[in-house]
Amino acid sequence: MIVVILVLVVAKKIRIAIAIIEEASNAILRMPCLVCFPFFTAIFILANALFLIFSVTLLASAENVTVGVLARDFSSWADINCSGIALSLIHI
């Protein structure tokens, strides 16, 4: 008897829940690619996490790197690679 009274009290909410489920199933039928979006999101998050782990590992493995060392190495690289360009621009 209590169950019948409880069902009568929440009957409107039950009908609303059924309508929501029916509408959601219609949306999935019309747009089946909605099912795949959570998987794409999970793959993207996993790829970003792996990239973060790789980057942190790479930075942690660089023990004695300072800004001065990087500047010196880059300037010597730029002198080697850009001197030919500078000379060709002067002769134009």
Q: Mind listing the pLDDT tens digit for each residue in 16-26?
A: 999 999 999 99
Q: Mind listing the pLDDT tens digit for each residue in 61-79?
A: 887 777 777 777 777 776 6
Phi first, then psi: what are they for 91, rounded to 5°?
Answer: -80, -5
Given a cut of 60, is residue 44 above it in pLDDT?
A: yes
Given a cut of 80, is residue 39 above it in pLDDT?
A: yes
Q: Are residues 70 and 58 in the same domain?
A: no
> Count of domains in the chain?
2
Question: What's the pTM value of the predicted model, to 2 decimals?
Answer: 0.47
How many whole angstroms separate alpha carbon 53 and alpha carbon 63? 17
Structural domain boundaries enclosing 24: 2-64
Q: Are residues 16 and 36 in the same domain?
A: yes
